[in-house]
Amino acid sequence: MFLLALVVVPSALAGHPSGPYFTRSANLDGDRAAESAVGSLDVDSGHSYSRWSVTIEDRCGRMKRYPVSAVWNGTLETLRVPEANGLVGRREVLYVLRAGPAKGEVAVVQLAARSPCPVPRFLFHYLAPKDVQLMGFSAELRDLDPSVKGLELRLEERFATASRARLYRYDRRAARYVLYRTTTA
C-alpha cells in the first residue's frame, strides 16, 4: 500500500502545470537586496479551474511573501518591474491579469518603506467594470510626455461602439497615479 502511494503521487503531480512561471527580480524597496515579483499558475487536480497569482517576495529577516492579486481561469498577460514613478533606486511592479477579453485588472505596485519591513502599496489599480458594452481593455506604461517625470500609464477600454483612452501620471504629493487626460473615439 505504501509503495503504491509513492508511485501514484509523483505521476499525478507531473501532469499539473502548477508553479511559478514568471519571475522578475529588481530592487523594489531601496535596500541592497533584490526582491522578486512572481507570477504563478495553480491548477486543481481535476483541471477544472486554474488561478494565476502575482506575489512579491522580499527578504526582510526571513522570506516574506506578499500576495498582491489573483484571477481565476484567466491569464497573466504582463509582469514587469519598470522604474515607473521616476524615483531612482527602486522599481515598481506592473501586472495585467485577464479573465477573458473584458475582465481582469491592471496594477502598479510598490514596496512602501515601513518599519521593520516594507509592505505592498498600490500606485494604480484598475478592475475592469462589469459593463456589458466593454469588449476589452489594454494597458501600457511608457514615456508619453517628456515633460512628466516617470512613466505614464495609458489605459484603453474598447466598447461595442467606441473606445476610450485614459492617461495617468505619477503625482508625488498624492503618491499614486492620477488621471490627467481622457479621449474618446
> 42: which strand partners?
51
Is 60 exceeded by the pLDDT of residue 16? no
Query: Of the candidates 168, 175, 143, 135, which has an alpha carbon nearest to the alpha carbon of residue 153?
Result: 168
Q: Which residue has the cell 499525478?
A: 12
40 pLDDT above the threshold of 60: yes
Pairing label, strands 50-60, 62-72: antiparallel
- Please report the pLDDT score of residue 164 as a whole number: 96
Classified as helix, coil or strand, 159 is: strand
> In 3D, which of 141, 140, 114 has the Cα closest to residue 60?
114
Question: In this structure, which long-range contacts are made by residues 133-141, counting pairs with CB atoms below 8 Å and at least 24 apart in sequence?
Answer: 133/159, 133/160, 133/161, 134/102, 134/158, 134/159, 135/101, 135/102, 135/159, 135/160, 136/101, 136/102, 137/102, 137/104, 137/106, 139/78, 139/96, 139/106, 141/80, 141/82, 141/84, 141/94, 141/108
Asked if pLDDT for residue 21 goes beyond 90, the answer is no
Per-residue pLDDT at 5 exceeds 50: no
User: Which residue in 61, 1, 55, 62 sits closest to 28, CA to CA?
Assistant: 55
pLDDT in tens, 147-174: 888 899 999 999 989 999 999 999 989 9
Going 147 to 78 to 107 to 156, the CA torsion angle's sign is positive
Angstrom CA distances, 58 to 21, 24, 54, 152, stand at 18, 12, 13, 26
Digit-coded pLDDT (tens) for 99-158: 888 889 999 999 887 777 888 999 999 999 888 889 999 999 999 888 888 899 999 999
Residue 3 predicted with pLDDT over 50:
no
Separation of alpha carbons 15 and 45, rounded Å: 9
**What is the predicted pLDDT for the residue at 17?**
58
For the purposes of burial, counting CB atoms within 10 Å of the CB of 34, is it exposed (0-12), middle (13-18) or buried (19 or more)? Answer: middle
Cα 72 to the chain's mean position, in Å? 14
pLDDT in tens, 52-92: 889 898 887 777 888 888 777 788 889 999 988 887 778 99
Question: Which grid coordinates belong to 91?
Answer: 522599481
